[in-house]
């Protein structure tokens, strides 16, 4: 009825819902238009929001919002890395932290750099060889289209699937 979303629309046993993701994205400064009414959403801690998106998203725009959120909101490296390991998101979390750091350097943002560097350093090295896409469920042709084949992608074994120039423009506007 409401389109496809990787998150449940209704809260059940305290799970994170589609409403929570979009309300939290807006709260942390990255509003997205949703096809689902968001009145029932709650704001998630930034670490939970980042990991939920990395774990479940099938939408590139949600993943592109993570560096924007990290530029505006402090993150606990200890909480982020512990939960990333527990949820099996070591590579995705390390990659997104280093991607945010790179974008911050290119745009002159100084906030939260040390926290992101600490998190990335704690998550590396990983011991997985298979390359994965940052965003799930994308057709292989689209994943190949987004492949940068740069140092970060090779280091973390991730195909970023995000538009760097779009994120940089948003960071410069902040």
The answer to whether residue 115 sits within a structural domain is: yes
The torsion region of residue 124 among left (phi > 0), alpha (psi -120 to 50) and beta comes to beta
- Between CA 112 and CA 5 the distance in angstroms is 30
Which DSSP string do the residues of 114-135 spell out, in sequence order?
HHHHHHHHHH-S----S-EESS
Q: What is the pLDDT of residue 2?
A: 43
Report pLDDT for 29: 92
What is the model's pLDDT at position 1? 37
Cα(44)–Cα(36) distance, integer angstroms:
18
Q: Is 145 a member of any domain?
A: yes
| 130 within some domain | yes
Say how many C-beta atoms besides its own lie within 10 A of residue 102's C-beta. 16
Beta-bridge mates of residue 133: 159
Cα–Cα distance, 43 to 23 (Å, whole number) = 6
In a domain, 8, yes or no: no
Quick check: is 152 in a domain? yes
Residue 12 lies in a domain: no
Q: Which domain holds residue 116?
A: 18-173
Q: Please answer whether residues 50 and 29 qualify as being in contact, where contact means their C-beta atoms are separated by less than 8 angstroms.
A: no
Count the neighbouring beta carbons within 10 Å of the beta carbon of residue 126: 16
Residue 142: its pLDDT value, please?
86
Domain count, the chain: 1
96 belongs to a structural domain:
yes
Neighbouring-strand partners of residue 159: 133
Task: Give all strands (DSSP E) within 28-171, no chain letters.
Answer: 132-133, 158-159
Q: Is residue 6 part of a domain?
A: no
CA distance 99 to 116: 10
Quote the pLDDT of residue 4: 63
Q: How far apart (Å, rounded) are the C-alpha atoms in residues 97 and 103?
A: 10
Q: How many CB atoms lie within 10 A of CB 45?
A: 15
- Split the chain (174 residues) into runs of 10 and give each run's mean pLDDT: 60 80 92 76 94 92 94 94 96 96 94 94 87 90 86 92 90 84
């Amino acid at each position: 009825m409401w389109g496809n979303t990787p998150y449940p629309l209704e809260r059940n046993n305290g799970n994170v819902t589609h409403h929570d993701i979009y309300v939290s994205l807006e709260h942390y400064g990255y509003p997205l238009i949703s096809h689902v009414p968001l009145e029932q959403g709650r704001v998630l801690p930034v670490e939970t929001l980042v990991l939920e998106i990395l774990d479940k998203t099938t939408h590139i725009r949600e993943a592109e919002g993570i560096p924007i959120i990290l530029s505006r909101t402090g993150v606990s490296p200890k909480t982020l890395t512990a939960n990333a390991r527990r949820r099996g998101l070591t590579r995705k979390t390390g990659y997104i932290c280093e991607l945010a750091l790179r974008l911050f350097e290119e745009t002159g943002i100084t906030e939260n750099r040390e926290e992101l560097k600490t998190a990335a350093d704690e998550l590396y090295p990983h011991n997985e060889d298979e390359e994965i896409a940052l965003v799930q469920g994308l057709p292989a042709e689209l994943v190949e289209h987004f492949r940068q084949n740069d140092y970060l992608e090779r280091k973390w074994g991730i195909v970023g699937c995000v538009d760097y120039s779009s994120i940089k423009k948003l960071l410069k506007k902040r």
